[in-house]
Structure 1
């Protein structure tokens, strides 16, 4: 067994000493980078990634994993590596400055700068650039020989006007004067004739009527199919869309008709890439969409409509089918086909799907909806929403879900060459899950119909599961009215679910109908044992299935259990209990986008987190190895969200990060081949029983020029005698002999994120920790532990006890402490200032201030009612308003507004879809009436958290100014000292600093 190897990353954590490092400012945000797109070639020899600044031009990097080659494509993105490991293709964005300038000048869409494309042959220096590209595609699999790209429409070429010489210009002017004289004489003559002959002589002759053309369409543009091996290209005009089969053996081109030439009709063309043969398989339609190949590239299905006008209020789509050897695509399904129930038609929103073996064709049906009555006069028609107590969902939720409901499809299937439709989905089987690569005889159907009303206060609707035959549509009930989700095994042999009341996993064997408790002998909890909500705790979840449904793997808090889906074998601790005994969480990281089942010879990749010291890493464990852990890397960092593996070799690419250093792109090779580069801790030797880890790219090297931060895991005793922990951020140049102002930021629990990298960035709603710490603040982020019915006091127990703990530190200025939070954190800030006066300032983002009015309100972003949140989830009251009104009043800051003495800044935006902004208004108006120091920032048209970067930058400046004034004694900005009246809106932003110190 290879040992788990700890990589200390000495080069990364070495902080370059300098006499004076700069503090971060708001001006640095734009240039701070992220590592975004990441791809690895099938052979593991090439990596492609993008380096993206927050604002500006990105860079796409193509790099050999042995560092022998590197190519940069400025502004490259959306890359693809061909399956043969030979080429990289990417799009190239226009210059950021050019796009910005075009927006300022309000240019039309056609006039905006357009993307281009780059083709790079790996290992070579040349780059082929192609301008004005809409899109490109390559086959998912196959040789990598083919590339197709759709070009933007050609720009109109202005006519070339010859520039005459001086003599020619003079002659032209004389000729023009003669012509004007002749025209004037002609007009005088006609006017004289008109006096005698009447005005009829001046009337223009009536032109013959031209034939009326068809309704104009948005014409397609030129498509190019390029052979990457030979450079040969084939061009197709008027193309609107195009598709490769998975292997690239077939290529579909959809063209539009021509507005100028009525003989050129819309068509679908099949191109055989091997033989170069082109066949038109469908012609003369209004719309065709949702094309689907089978895996072999021999069958094609699509939806089309060819009978109505473009402006028709009601259109009926049909399913068409083509197979190689046929003359043209033929109609397979319309609303008159056997098996399509009356009132249903083909869905235009559901794409057809072939089973892996090509024997089943799945598609969607949807209700025929009544068209809008266009004879009604809009300004004479009532507009209202009707709420009914028996509705499945409240009207606001129905309106939010309206686009989804209008496009909802019921899955159906055709078997083989049969033309009888088997309907699977329905109003009482709205969710359908396929299995065995869509080959399985049965599908899993679930429904919440009949149980949706209670989701208003429960937060979920109980589901009923069926299995439905794809052969005859018959149903069998699996389980009724269960809280948690049902899933079908990949091979289609079992249905699995977790029962929250029995706290175990159960399976249903489809072949026998047997139901089995498969985890009853596991003695450790499979649910979240630290959950503090007043509700049944949910499970940690299913990791994966084994090939052929041999096992299912489920999580406890730390480890993974291998379970027999029929319960004949006892559950087996796949991670050997190592996680629980060492307080390490193991979580599976699929490295293939297809997320295939676990195999007997697979190397399973786990992301790990040590709950004691918060260190992270990645572990590789070979299935069948009797020892654990496997091999890998761990240390004072955490691993990014995704790990990518080369398809044909054991080479992995991922990122690591820490509070100390910005994300680093790393390559890990499960091999004993030596790399002699001294970049890995200065070591040139690769020893036995280890794996090779190589950094490929260090982001944000400019960080070394700034006063950065350090982070410490801190523990203290709360008022209730229990211990909690949190994260203490200090400046890199921290001096224990000085006194620092401190801001406490909080939201539930964050201590597991000790090694999370926090990027300087404009604020969406909370303080940017690196910015504040770099400028001489301490920031503490405490974990909060909750008790039922006491969310406010639970916050007091954690936050205020932490603040008092730090007042005993000689380097904390106890008179200059503040609190800040957003959403649930904003509520807690609003509550805490009613319970203590120890803070010099506070900022509450989107706070709930009145639980009695919020309880029955609507979360407008989703349209759902808030009752469940107070009774069962985050608010943790645990009772209805009428059961315990005292708890709602006790935990509402509004009812203790007269106790507030702390200056309070509220941020609440008028398009907030999570916490209605009238909650902020209620608190602001109460405090204002009471003569308290209170301000409210309301960003127009913004949601719960700011989206627009201009607003984020503005909030960042105001948060700095606010806390600098109260905690550092800096001059007050005008908006804080005097406010900004509506008459100055858009003219004066009020961020200039006042001369005086106070107000």
Structure 2
């Protein structure tokens, strides 16, 4: 017995994965419903003083969430149920004394409310005084905000007691101003919108009351409590926008005009430089000389002041149809005006009269027509005629070969096109239009001296054909409005080649022919920054059909004298005059470490401060380690070369942030077997990191993967690649396991990525599969031009052979799965090998010839440009028909021996439903084992929770049958007749509850 106890102790020390899973059940799809985890986006927040960390545990399916307030220095913790939500608005006061967050109805309440649509469910806000945990609740809150740096008040805009029934109904609601020091509350009525400036000294309010009585733009001084009425009218005020300094406010004012369907807008600008707010107004109705005809100020772009408060920037767009015109048409139909009968109508009526037999009959008929016309005119009516509104118009779309954009694309962007706004400016004296049909979009640079624009309309047709992007680059002088084309037909293989402006607003970078250039706006000169450097900034890891795509740059220095560039491995500091270039990281290429990211620890920074240490993320290409390093500064305040690794682990380390007002740092860490958690350190060295979150409270209840292995292999084309092998729960050395092979281009970097159990839109979840005794293998695929399908064969099969040598995988029980592009790889692989015993393909491309000429419905663009310029990695089919045939799964369908599970939805807007149907019907004709799941109304992936649950369970049943010798599900073994489908679904729903 003692020996057994000792053996158990040794096993617990040396086989943690094995003991973790021993005796614990695997997680089932039923269990996933109750799974909670830290929200990926907006799920954490650190207080400005670094004393508190808030994080949200939300349900991955349909349950309720919980907010945890954790003290960073000790174990003090507050927990609050916050209802059914995945995103929680939350914020600290700037002095870190208070914390406020939204509370939502719970899942049970939402479900009950769904039975009575139209009845709004109120949302609350909880205000917590962190020193004593005092909680104040506010009911029926729409939005809330602390007043910035002043931190004296919490403003809460309440939801209306009854929802507005019409668009023109007043939008005003009660605004509560809660004084944090005293707890006193003031109610301000009829507030439509509110916005504090950054310092919190001023609160801007728009008033929108019944009958527009008292409507206006108000400014409240948060120190004195006095409110100034800046503008007051029977109008609607909207789009409040403060300058960053908080010394200027811009807004839109809308008044009714019988000529137009919607309010006619003007622009208001308020300056707060003196003791009295100064108002500037631009009303286009009073500027018939400069404001373009048939245009209006756009409600879809917020107006802004330039930094020096000398000019207002705003949008203009095409005007709406005039109300009077619409009403006139309506009146014409309901109360037609008298109109004379035309000679043609008279003649037509006479010709149709078969009783006319003689000249006398003809004379009588002419007299009668004349009399009838006069009588109709006296009655105020009109002779019936076919007007414009009476014509039955054909419903037709006309596709012309010269269309710059496909008609389908125009349909997708129709509303966006109608609402498109052109940038304009008012300098206090004159209106100046900054963009037009020749240059539609510009982006103002820092300091608002210039704007830089890309115009691609000239090349839009060619881009829509082959996926190669070009643009003309313009500079707009924001003081004069003068537009200048500075670069013609710049090739844009990726976003990294697009202009990035400097922090002083006088320069921009761009990529061309594999180099980065600096364009100096005042001198109108370009300089090649990188041609003399001993490295290349071309992204050699990008294997799409693009010429010399650039690695994205990290950014400009705050003094605009340097740019930080990345080659594939290292970070370079390069002066804008091209005379200085320093490799800051030094060892990236040599040690195969990617320096991928610079952490922006000050969210309000303006450029990269090179006088302060730089924190960067590190990733080992072949070790899969990751961490955080620091580039230090010397005593003179200059960056020194070389990186000091602070964290470097066999884990995924990321998400570094810093408290606003303290040296408190937070970073995340995860592995495939350890959920994502956050750690806090009070040292710039990130030492002694203390875990402050507890993710996935259900994690310890279930069996989990025993660990990961990295598999090295060489593709059939000589590429050195890797695959991530995830061990099953309870793994025992020497025992072989059923395995699912999953892929999507390169994914070996996910070796240390944690995955929450969940119902994905594709049915796939590696954590659930490994918990249930499967190994999961994810190999990398790199692509050769004109062979996207064969590339999978050349990479995946060697990867599997290498993985088999680990002894983990049972070669007789291997399945494959992929979705979308991965679904295509799956559909193709089973035509080239019988190595796999089962395959599941989601939304696969199956016929490359027909797919090329179909529409990508989600965007309205053609698949051709994706094939030639993006993921397809093919030339046009008529340039190489053989490439399309040899890479089309359908072309090799007779070879298939592998049972196939297909998922393809009828509303798929990425891979047309016909692709799945083509493959299914071909396989059925050949009597190959295949089942197709089609979920009604679903797009490229499953969105509805019942569908996600259903398919996830069915896919595992499919693999369990083929790889684990479990009983075949009835839907696979014999199918489900349409007449029996409802009963079948009801049984499954009851079974899965």
Q: Same fold (TM over 0.5)?
A: yes
Instruction: Choose which of 845, 848, 853 in structure 2 pairs with 1:848.
Output: 845
> 1:285·1:304 contact (CA, 8 Å) conserved in 2?
no
* Deviation of the 1:279 alpha carbon: 2.8
What is the alpha-carbon distance in structure 2 between the residues aligned to residue 849 and residue 378 of structure 1?
47
Equivalence for 2:471: 463
Equivalence for 2:82: 75
Correspondence list, 1:645-684, <5 A: 645-670=658-683
Equivalence for 2:696: 700
Equivalence for 1:943: 939
Correspondence list, 1:466-505, <5 A: 466-484=474-492, 485-499=498-512, 502-505=513-516
* Deviation of the 1:298 alpha carbon: 4.6
What is the alpha-carbon distance in structure 2 between the residues aligned to residue 351 and residue 125 of structure 1?
39
> 1:763·1:955 contact (CA, 8 Å) conserved in 2?
no
What is the alpha-carbon distance in structure 2 between the residues aligned to residue 596 and residue 474 of structure 1?
27
What is the alpha-carbon distance in structure 1 between the residues aligned to residue 985 and residue 106 of structure 2?
30
* Deviation of the 1:578 alpha carbon: 4.3
Equivalence for 2:198: 246
What is the alpha-carbon distance in structure 1 between the residues aligned to residue 257 and residue 312 of structure 2?
26
> 1:730·1:779 contact (CA, 8 Å) conserved in 2?
yes
Deviates more, 1:291-300 or 1:938-947: 291-300
What is the alpha-carbon distance in structure 1 between the residues aligned to residue 959 and residue 598 of structure 2?
42
Correspondence list, 1:64-103, <5 A: 64-67=71-74, 69-75=76-82, 77-103=88-114
1:782 pairs with 2:802: no
Instruction: Choose which of 595, 603, 618 in structure 2 pairs with 1:593.
Output: 603
Equivalence for 2:311: 360
Deviates more, 1:446-455 or 1:31-40: 31-40
* Deviation of the 1:314 alpha carbon: 5.0
Deviates more, 1:503-512 or 1:269-278: 269-278
> 1:245·1:293 contact (CA, 8 Å) conserved in 2?
yes
What is the alpha-carbon distance in structure 2 between the residues aligned to residue 347 and residue 18 of structure 1?
60
What is the alpha-carbon distance in structure 2 between the residues aligned to residue 90 and residue 387 of structure 1?
52
TM-score normalized by structure 1?
Answer: 0.85
TM-score normalized by structure 2?
Answer: 0.85
Equivalence for 1:675: none
What is the alpha-carbon distance in structure 2 between the residues aligned to residue 301 and residue 440 of structure 1?
16
Equivalence for 2:234: 285
Q: What secondary structure sits across from 2:111 in the alignment?
A: helix
Equivalence for 1:971: 967
* Deviation of the 1:632 alpha carbon: 1.9
> 1:494·1:565 contact (CA, 8 Å) conserved in 2?
no
Instruction: Choose which of 27, 32, 39 in structure 1 pairs with 2:30.
Output: 27
* Deviation of the 1:730 alpha carbon: 1.3
Instruction: Choose which of 616, 632, 649 in structure 1 pairs with 2:646.
Output: 632
Q: Which has the higher helix share?
A: 2
What is the alpha-carbon distance in structure 2 between the residues aligned to residue 263 and residue 469 of structure 1?
40
* Deviation of the 1:513 alpha carbon: 1.2
* Deviation of the 1:620 alpha carbon: 2.7
* Deviation of the 1:991 alpha carbon: 7.1
Q: What secondary structure sits across from 1:254 in the alignment?
A: strand
> 1:81·1:88 contact (CA, 8 Å) conserved in 2?
yes
Correspondence list, 1:92-491, <5 A: 92-103=103-114, 105-110=115-120, 112=121, 114-139=122-147, 141-154=148-161, 217-258=169-210, 264-308=213-257, 313-323=261-271, 331-337=281-287, 339-370=290-321, 375=330, 380-415=392-427, 418-436=428-446, 439-484=447-492, 485-491=498-504
> 2:261·2:321 contact (CA, 8 Å) conserved in 1?
no
> 1:466·1:478 contact (CA, 8 Å) conserved in 2?
yes
Q: What secondary structure sits across from 1:792 in the alignment?
A: helix
What is the alpha-carbon distance in structure 2 between the residues aligned to residue 75 and residue 446 of structure 1?
45
Aligned residue pairs, count:
894
* Deviation of the 1:106 alpha carbon: 2.6
1:743 pairs with 2:750: no
Going from structure 1 to structure 2, the CA distance change for 1:603 and 1:809 (only over 3 Å counts) comes to: closer
> Could you report, residue by residue, the CA deviation over 1:517-560 in whole angstroms, capped at 9, with x for unpaired residues?
01112222211223333331311111011112010111111111
Correspondence list, 1:953-972, <5 A: 953-972=949-968
* Deviation of the 1:412 alpha carbon: 1.8
Equivalence for 1:619: 629
What is the alpha-carbon distance in structure 1 between the residues aligned to residue 468 and residue 25 of structure 2?
51
What is the alpha-carbon distance in structure 1 between the residues aligned to residue 826 and residue 589 of structure 2?
36
> 1:980·1:990 contact (CA, 8 Å) conserved in 2?
no
Equivalence for 1:541: 552
When the two chains are superposed, the root-mean-square deviation of aligned CA atoms in Å is 2.7
Which blocks of at least 5 consecutive residues in structure 2 are unaligned? Answer: 1-12, 331-387, 493-497
Q: What secondary structure sits across from 2:712 in the alignment?
A: strand
Equivalence for 2:584: 574
Going from structure 1 to structure 2, the CA distance change for 1:472 and 1:625 (only over 3 Å counts) comes to: closer
Which blocks of at least 5 consecutive residues in structure 1 are unaligned? Answer: 1-9, 157-213, 672-688, 994-999
> Could you report, residue by residue, the CA deviation over 1:356-395 in whole angstroms, capped at 9, with x for unpaired residues?
3323321112223546967576993332222222222111
Q: What secondary structure sits across from 1:758 in the alignment?
A: coil
What is the alpha-carbon distance in structure 2 between the residues aligned to residue 16 and residue 899 of structure 1?
45
Q: What secondary structure sits across from 1:924 in the alignment?
A: helix
What is the alpha-carbon distance in structure 1 between the residues aligned to residue 451 and residue 177 of structure 2?
39
Equivalence for 1:674: none
Q: What secondary structure sits across from 1:99 in the alignment?
A: helix
